[in-house]
């Protein structure tokens, strides 16, 4: 169910009131409990099934789940558990398949009809060269692009001789459908201090769906930023909005149908 943003605050207030009610017990069975308690009870009934399913996996299969952890922050059993619970809740085949190209969730970018400019930017600051951006993506094309295909432009800024100078790196996806693929681009001078980096992805005037996962930015000192677009306990992807040269910015805003974090099954 999609709740309009204007009504979300009112809905949360109403649900909070009912969550705090204490129901009387009328009998020794069929207790009336809060929605939160019911959710906890459902989880408790699922976890033993997760344990049993995990025990049936052989060493190679468990290693595959370990290899698929990516940047989720989970260990192999936690990733398996999260995937198992989602698939059981949504009536999908159990267990799922671990992938190294993507994990549970990914950022879906869409331009229905191909008549809009769809862009999103990641801003970072205070990096040291050289710089590397890598990510995995999948693309489904509905009509050929009017201009360019899915692409990004990364600009790194630095000071030299009293001047504000920039270095640019760009990449463009081939047209047509693309199966899960790795993109990795490096640029910049070793040891150079970059005070600001912008990475702008574009899906302008192109009727296509793009799925993005395992985004990673590295500099000369190692991994600087990584994201698997996981949905946390709040059921939303938690990201830092752009402020003072850091965070994410979406154009138009982060809303369906242009932007959504979705479960990735294949």
Which residues make Cβ contacts (< 8 Å) with residue 10, sequence separation at least 6? Answer: none
Q: Give the distance between the most distant pair of CA atoms in the chain.
A: 81
Which residues make Cβ contacts (< 8 Å) with residue 17, sequence separation at least 6? Answer: none
The arithmetic mean of pLDDT across residues 197-220, rounded, is 96
Greatest mean pLDDT among 2-11, 30-39, 172-181 = 172-181
Tokens, residue 194: 């970059």
What pLDDT, on the 0 to 100 scale, is given for residue 260? 95
The arithmetic mean of pLDDT across residues 248-252, rounded, is 96
Query: pLDDT digit string (tens) for 73-103?
Result: 899 999 999 999 889 888 899 899 999 999 9
Q: Which fold has domain 105-263?
A: Jelly Rolls (2.60.120)
Higher pLDDT, 38 or 193: 193
- Residue 20 backbone class (left: φ over 0; alpha: ψ -120 to 50; beta: rest): alpha
Q: Where are the domains of the chain?
A: 5-24+31-89, 105-263
The arithmetic mean of pLDDT across residues 194-209, rounded, is 96
CB-based contact 79:72 (threshold 8 Å): yes
How many beta carbons lie within 10 A of that of residue 63, not counting itself? 13
Model confidence at 138: pLDDT above 60: yes
Q: Considering only CA atoms, which of 218, 227, 215 is closest in space to residue 129? A: 218
Model confidence at 115: pLDDT above 60: yes
Model confidence at 219: pLDDT above 80: yes
């Amino acid at each position: 169910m999609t709740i309009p943003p204007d009504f979300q605050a009112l809905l949360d207030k109403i649900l909070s009131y009912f969550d705090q009610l204490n129901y009387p017990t009328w009998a020794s069975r069929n207790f009336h409990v809060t929605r939160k308690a019911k959710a906890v009870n459902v989880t408790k009934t699922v976890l033993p099934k997760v344990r049993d399913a995990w025990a049936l996996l052989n060493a190679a299969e468990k290693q595959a789940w370990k290899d698929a952890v990516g940047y989720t922050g989970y260990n192999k059993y936690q990733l398996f558990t999260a995937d198992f619970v989602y698939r059981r809740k949504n009536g999908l085949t159990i267990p799922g398949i671990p992938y190294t190209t993507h994990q549970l969730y990914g950022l879906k970018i869409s331009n229905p009809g191909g008549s809009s400019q769809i862009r999103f930017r990641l801003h970072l600051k205070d990096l040291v060269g050289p710089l590397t951006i890598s990510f995995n993506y999948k693309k489904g094309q509905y009509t050929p692009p009017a201009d360019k295909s899915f692409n990004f432009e990364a600009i790194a800024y630095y000071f030299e001789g009293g001047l504000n100078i920039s270095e640019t790196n760009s990449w463009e996806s081939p047209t047509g459908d693309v199966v899960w693929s790795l993109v990795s681009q490096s640029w910049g001078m070793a040891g150079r201090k970059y005070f600001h980096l912008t990475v702008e992805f574009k899906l302008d005037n192109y009727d296509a769906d793009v799925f993005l996962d395992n985004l990673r930015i590295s500099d000369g000192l190692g991994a600087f930023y990584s994201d698997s677009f996981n949905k946390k306990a709040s059921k939303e992807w938690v990201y830092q909005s752009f402020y003072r040269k850091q965070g994410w910015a979406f154009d138009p805003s982060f809303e369906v149908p242009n932007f959504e974090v979705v479960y990735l099954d294949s």
